[in-house]
Amino acid sequence: MGYKIISDSSSNLYEIEGINYTTVPLKIHTEIGEFVDQKGIELKKMVEYLYTTKEKSSTSCPNIGEWLKAFEGEKEIYAITISGNLSGSYNSLQKAKEAYLEENPEAKIYAIDSCSTGPEMVLMIEKIVELKEKGLNFADTCAEMEKYMPRCKILFALNSVKNLANNGRVNSIVASLVGILGIKMLGQGSDDGRIELIYKGKGMKNVLKRMFVEMEKAGFAGDKVVISHVFNDEANEFITKLIKDKYPDCKINSHLTGGLCGYYAEKGGLILGYEIKEK
């Protein structure tokens, strides 16, 4: 029997070659129009506009109907969302799951609140693919994912947290400190899926050096890393080199963010997901 993986678009992963995979889009609402977070989004236009404007903007999560459309015809589904403490996407997924199972009682749906976003979600999605390619059934795949997910962590190196603060995702006092005189923020995802400030420093390189320290402190030992950035190749190359210099065999996958992560990480921001040692 086949399976399907579905994520909301905060994963930044719009397709996986050879895999029955799709995303349901979040949306970014601005004064110049709505940006739907899907393949082909005008990311550069959105990011540059948000960088210069003082106008209000906001985001919205996928609705129940969009999840149901993605479920259509499937019997074994793995669905993953951005943290439920940052968005209503997981709540929408749960309601869609209930409705779909009522009409399709033979179906199986594993609904995952990633308690994270972007690169950490990619790690989880890739793990599901790995487990299914090994031939694990639904129950065993779910059990293995419950063991694996605590090994996934996320860090944020940000030039600005204006959009996070304006939408209530971080404290406005914290936001006022970032961006002044070159001050950058290093944040991490908490266990319950919130964003915590752990360091602020002058210049992105100093923040990225601290990022690497925090990775090792958490238990990173050269396993998988996924990096998403908002048009900041220099930062991407810098943190990649830091990691590779010590862990030359580390598998690092890097790419631009999608729309939702680009909106919150803002121009020049970088988000890094990584695996820690198995305890």
Residue 76: its pLDDT value, please? 98
Lowest mean pLDDT among 134-148, 158-172, 210-224, 238-252: 158-172
pTM (2 d.p.): 0.94
Q: Is residue 53 domain-shared with residue 155, that is, in the same domain?
A: no
Q: Is residue 84 domain-shared with residue 173, that is, in the same domain?
A: no
Q: Is residue 72 domain-shared with residue 160, that is, in the same domain?
A: no
d(Cα 27, Cα 35) in Å, to the nearest integer? 6
- Pick the last residue of a domain from 150, 184, 207: 150
CATH of the domain at 143: 3.40.50.10170
Q: What is the pLDDT of residues 148-164, one digit of tens each?
A: 999 999 999 998 878 78
Q: Is residue 159 domain-shared with residue 142, that is, in the same domain?
A: no
Q: What is the pLDDT of residues 177-219, one digit of tens each?
A: 665 556 899 999 999 998 888 998 889 999 999 999 999 999 9
Q: Is residue 174 domain-shared with residue 242, that is, in the same domain?
A: yes
d(Cα 95, Cα 44) in Å, to the nearest integer? 34
- Pick the last residue of a domain from 150, 181, 214: 150
Q: Is residue 126 domain-shared with residue 201, that is, in the same domain?
A: no
- Pick the last residue of a domain from 115, 135, 150: 150
Check if the beta carbon of residue 28 is closer than 8 Å to that of residue 61.
no
d(Cα 169, Cα 183) in Å, to the nearest integer? 19
Give the domain range for residue 206.
Answer: 151-275
Close Cβ partners of 102 (under 8 Å, ≥ 6 residues apart): none
